[in-house]
Chains A and B, each alone.
Chain A
């Protein structure tokens, strides 16, 4: 005789305000198989969990039903409580009377009836459960970090310091991301390169870190603890084992007019190049599309001048495969393509309308103007500078609905720098709101205002060129007046968007993105560093717009998560996965194509039939990969597949409990 215990949770007033929990418990006591039933204010609290233990002892229960919140929230808690009470943790069923009942209904009578029905179903289901055991899989003690910005470097260093090897894959020829492009960083105004390049060097030198630059991840198979990764090392045309990084080739390359993306288009580079002097690795590569030797078979100067013979015009892409146990995504951000959207700002046709990132290069001592703020059109020092915030941010018509979080602060920084560097300057910031939530941020902004920067609350509706001035027209919404500024330079704080190709890489690694294309965290509050795919973690601006302090914190956080995975020799797997009844399986293979996790293969079995041994193929489930989604069960034509913990029999029992 099975003996089920039913526990109905009030969740304070979250459930009890709409559902008569006492009545639910009373009704549940009458269901077949129920030996004990009670309601309680907070089942997830310690006293609540103790209640389960005591009831099991006193009433000799062998199965547990908890009616409370979503299983996403507390299923693990109650499974553990069940186990602590001496019952197999899978002889437990949870039903959701909060999200599915109290939070969506108002009629107390009907809501209570619905809760009773849900409990009736859960009891019917739990009566058909069998004990399940967890199994374990071995773990590869190596991590992969994709993206070598500050987020990726921080994550790689922390994992490596924890004693595990890390492979860092960066698609640019150097690691560093955006941070080395910046001049000073808010709120302390310390030099960005000075704090970033040592990190790049440490990453390079760490014995546990292997860096692949100019490389991309092409394929990821497997699952937490056991990923197989294919990396494409793109041809560099320079043998970095021989190259000493002397830089002679760069000085001699005749093709010198290629826009350098590191300079945000404000400066040029050669075809054989390092992005900047402190690049890591500090060795050049050839940009094949712009190299005369590689495109027209002319020139060849770099090979002639190279003292070590490191130039390799016949270099090929290389595929490298590695096994890793955990993956950290740190692919960062790009800036919103404002030139395609903002016609009122000229669609990019005015050379002196630039982005914040371009401004960073203009104030940077190692930038194209050696740190002098000179406007691109005529190289003159601008006196009147207008900054416009929220270009592409908080604009759901032309851009993105969200706030990009960093722009208020970096615009305050830029405005301060402009006032600081340019005598008799007149600096105006057009803003919608000033958002400075961060340690020392508001103080920084106030200082900028005290510097004499003019903050005007309102959006700019139009910019146009008249002679050598940019006419900026907008509204001061505090005064209710139209304003016009005749500016020399306009700087746009453009929105942060997911980096190019981040959707593709998310697909390759196998996790989801949010409505704006940023990587989707498993829970916006409580699991911000995880994805829904076990073993894949998030760091930095790839998860949403972020400044450096938050990015670094997330890098360390993701590293801690990854290290926790790698700290075990093996890990337990959830037994709630598909199973195959070999006797019924016809080996049609429909399930193989259906499975989103590539968890099903066909394997050959031999069996005796009619006095002969025959071989045939049947489906086989990889317990490490199967996530228990049940897609294969629904697709199976012969009914050979079943999902443990959600068997067809259990589901029919639930339906019967409701309908019969």
Chain B
């Protein structure tokens, strides 16, 4: 399996652990990721508020480069995924848009290739049986709250691979890795990332709700597929705790980190040490669970 890979702006910086673990998982699964050469920003959050054509043209350039190679595109970030899907749909749906966009990016783009969320690629496309069989170090007993956020499965007209209200892809993945996915109501609520820098008070409130409900549901870690969610839930957790006078201590991990861990990669090599909230309890819990299982099989 070979995909064009669009890391987007986070994966080389704030989301470096997403990048590290993605590469590790791809290696184990035998998925070849061809990084789109000289990719540009997808325009998320700013472009579609400014100009519709601009918001379509920015992702289109990346997609066109992949189309030329005849490759579908794997996108880790939920926001990039949403913008690229929007472009793909717009170009597929209108000859007029296709022509305009091709003219702007000075490249033919016909949307003959597909944009896929990395989550979709590593689960549904790769096959969960294969994932389960490669999970040599299963995440025995780890209780996770799978957090899809607002863009991974919404709006349904763009994201089509899972249910917009009660998605299951990550839940099933946790199951394949030997972990438990708790049932909780905030799977697809927003963390507030749209206001990340303008109204942090709102972000703190919204992210607090997400963390609070994950904790109430008994989760020991929150799993995400979005670097923006990660930023808010992980980096701001201390601030949220202080503001609300509570202790949360909930490690936030990318689904790829947990995959890589279960595949036997070393935690440090896949970025476990790059989080704000200490992730060692997760590693410890998983090891304990495994040992307990070995004792009484």
Q: Mark B161-186, 1 if CB is under 8 A from A, else 0.
A: 00111100000000000000000011
Q: Mark B189-219, 1 if CB is under 8 A from A, else 0.
A: 1000000000000000000000001001000
* Closest Cβ–Cβ distance, residue B219 to chain A (whole Å): 15
Q: Is the contact region of chain B dominated by helix, strand, or loop, or is it mixed? A: loop
User: A343 contacts which of B164, B186, B213, B216 (Cβ < 8 Å)?
Assistant: B164
Chain A residues near B165 (CB-CB < 8 A)? 342-344, 347
Chain A residues near B216 (CB-CB < 8 A)? 466
* Closest Cβ–Cβ distance, residue A446 to chain B (whole Å): 36
Q: Mark B140-171, 1 if CB is under 8 A from A, else 0.
A: 00000000000000000000000111100000
Tally of chain A residues near chain B (CB < 8 A): 9
Are B185's CB and A343's CB within 8 A?
A: no
Chain B, residue nearest A463 (CB)? B185
Chain B, residue nearest A342 (CB)? B165
A343 to B166 Cα, complex, angstroms: 6
A462 to B184 Cα, complex, angstroms: 13
Tally of chain B residues near chain A (CB < 8 A): 9
Are B166's CB and A464's CB within 8 A?
A: no
User: A464 contacts which of B163, B164, B185 (Cβ < 8 Å)?
Assistant: B185
Are A465's CB and B166's CB within 8 A?
A: no
Chain B residues near A342 (CB-CB < 8 A)? 165
Of residues 453 to 500 in A, which have CB atoms within 8 Å of B's CB atoms? 462, 464-466, 471
User: B166 contacts which of A347, A466, A471 (Cβ < 8 Å)?
Assistant: A347
A342 to B165 Cα, complex, angstroms: 8
* Closest Cβ–Cβ distance, residue A346 to chain B (whole Å): 8
A170 to B276 Cα, complex, angstroms: 67
Are A462's CB and B189's CB within 8 A?
A: yes
Are B189's CB and A343's CB within 8 A?
A: no
A344 to B165 Cα, complex, angstroms: 6
Residue among B164, B165, B189, B213 with most chain A CB within 10 A? B165
A462 to B216 Cα, complex, angstroms: 18
Chain B residues near A466 (CB-CB < 8 A)? 185, 213, 216
Chain B, residue nearest A345 (CB)? B165
Chain A residues near B164 (CB-CB < 8 A)? 343
Are A465's CB and B163's CB within 8 A?
A: no
A343 to B185 Cα, complex, angstroms: 10
A465 to B216 Cα, complex, angstroms: 11
Chain B residues near A343 (CB-CB < 8 A)? 163-166
Chain A, residue nearest B166 (CB)? A343
Of residues 331 to 374 in A, which have CB atoms within 8 Å of B's CB atoms? 342-344, 347
A347 to B183 Cα, complex, angstroms: 13
A347 to B164 Cα, complex, angstroms: 12
Chain B residues near A464 (CB-CB < 8 A)? 185-186, 213
Chain B, residue nearest A461 (CB)? B189
Chain A residues near B163 (CB-CB < 8 A)? 343
Chain A residues near B185 (CB-CB < 8 A)? 462, 464-466, 471
Chain A residues near B166 (CB-CB < 8 A)? 343, 347
Q: Mark B36-52, 1 if CB is under 8 A from A, else 0.
A: 00000000000000000
Chain B residues near A344 (CB-CB < 8 A)? 165
* Closest Cβ–Cβ distance, residue B204 to chain A (whole Å): 16
Chain B residues near A471 (CB-CB < 8 A)? 185
A466 to B213 Cα, complex, angstroms: 9
Chain A, residue nearest B164 (CB)? A343
A464 to B163 Cα, complex, angstroms: 17
Chain B residues near A462 (CB-CB < 8 A)? 185, 189
* Closest Cβ–Cβ distance, residue A487 to chain B (whole Å): 14
Chain A residues near B186 (CB-CB < 8 A)? 464
Of residues 83 to 131 in B, which have CB atoms within 8 Å of A's CB atoms? none
* Closest Cβ–Cβ distance, residue B192 to chain A (whole Å): 13
A464 to B213 Cα, complex, angstroms: 10
Chain A, residue nearest B185 (CB)? A464
Chain A, residue nearest B186 (CB)? A464
* Closest Cβ–Cβ distance, residue A459 to chain B (whole Å): 14
Of residues 245 to 282 in B, which have CB atoms within 8 Å of A's CB atoms? none
* Closest Cβ–Cβ distance, residue A236 to chain B (whole Å): 42
A343 to B187 Cα, complex, angstroms: 11
A471 to B186 Cα, complex, angstroms: 12
Chain B residues near A347 (CB-CB < 8 A)? 165-166
Chain A, residue nearest B212 (CB)? A466
Residue among B163, B166, B185, B186 with most chain A CB within 10 A? B185
A119 to B93 Cα, complex, angstroms: 44
Chain A, residue nearest B189 (CB)? A462
A642 to B185 Cα, complex, angstroms: 68
* Closest Cβ–Cβ distance, residue A62 to chain B (whole Å): 57
Chain B, residue nearest A397 (CB)? B156
* Closest Cβ–Cβ distance, residue A603 to chain B (whole Å): 56
A81 to B197 Cα, complex, angstroms: 79
* Closest Cβ–Cβ distance, residue A224 to chain B (whole Å): 47
Of residues 99 to 144 in A, which have CB atoms within 8 Å of B's CB atoms? none
A471 to B212 Cα, complex, angstroms: 14
A343 to B188 Cα, complex, angstroms: 11
A347 to B163 Cα, complex, angstroms: 11
* Closest Cβ–Cβ distance, residue B203 to chain A (whole Å): 15
Q: Mark B226-259, 1 if CB is under 8 A from A, else 0.
A: 0000000000000000000000000000000000
A203 to B166 Cα, complex, angstroms: 48
Chain A residues near B213 (CB-CB < 8 A)? 464, 466
A343 to B216 Cα, complex, angstroms: 21
Q: Mark A311-345, 1 if CB is under 8 A from B, else 0.
A: 00000000000000000000000000000001110
Of residues 631 to 659 in A, which have CB atoms within 8 Å of B's CB atoms? none
A471 to B165 Cα, complex, angstroms: 16
* Closest Cβ–Cβ distance, residue B108 to chain A (whole Å): 33
Chain B residues near A465 (CB-CB < 8 A)? 185
A84 to B30 Cα, complex, angstroms: 88
Of residues 402 to 451 in A, which have CB atoms within 8 Å of B's CB atoms? none
Chain B, residue nearest A464 (CB)? B185
* Closest Cβ–Cβ distance, residue A483 to chain B (whole Å): 15
A193 to B214 Cα, complex, angstroms: 48
A481 to B292 Cα, complex, angstroms: 50
A462 to B185 Cα, complex, angstroms: 9
Chain A residues near B189 (CB-CB < 8 A)? 462
Chain A, residue nearest B163 (CB)? A343
A533 to B172 Cα, complex, angstroms: 53
A465 to B183 Cα, complex, angstroms: 11
Chain A, residue nearest B156 (CB)? A397
Chain B, residue nearest A344 (CB)? B165
* Closest Cβ–Cβ distance, residue B222 to chain A (whole Å): 17
A471 to B164 Cα, complex, angstroms: 19
* Closest Cβ–Cβ distance, residue B117 to chain A (whole Å): 19
Chain B, residue nearest A467 (CB)? B216
A225 to B213 Cα, complex, angstroms: 67
* Closest Cβ–Cβ distance, residue B153 to chain A (whole Å): 10
A132 to B248 Cα, complex, angstroms: 90
- Listed by A's residue number, 12 A-B pairs whose Cβ atoms lie within 8 Å are A342-B165, A343-B164, A343-B166, A344-B165, A462-B189, A464-B185, A464-B186, A464-B213, A465-B185, A466-B213, A466-B216, A471-B185
Q: A342-B165, A343-B163, A344-B165 are in contact. List 13 more A-B contacts (CB 8 A).
A: A343-B164, A343-B165, A343-B166, A347-B165, A347-B166, A462-B185, A462-B189, A464-B185, A464-B186, A464-B213, A465-B185, A466-B213, A466-B216
The 7 closest A-B pairs by CB, nearest first: A343-B165, A464-B185, A343-B166, A344-B165, A347-B166, A343-B163, A343-B164
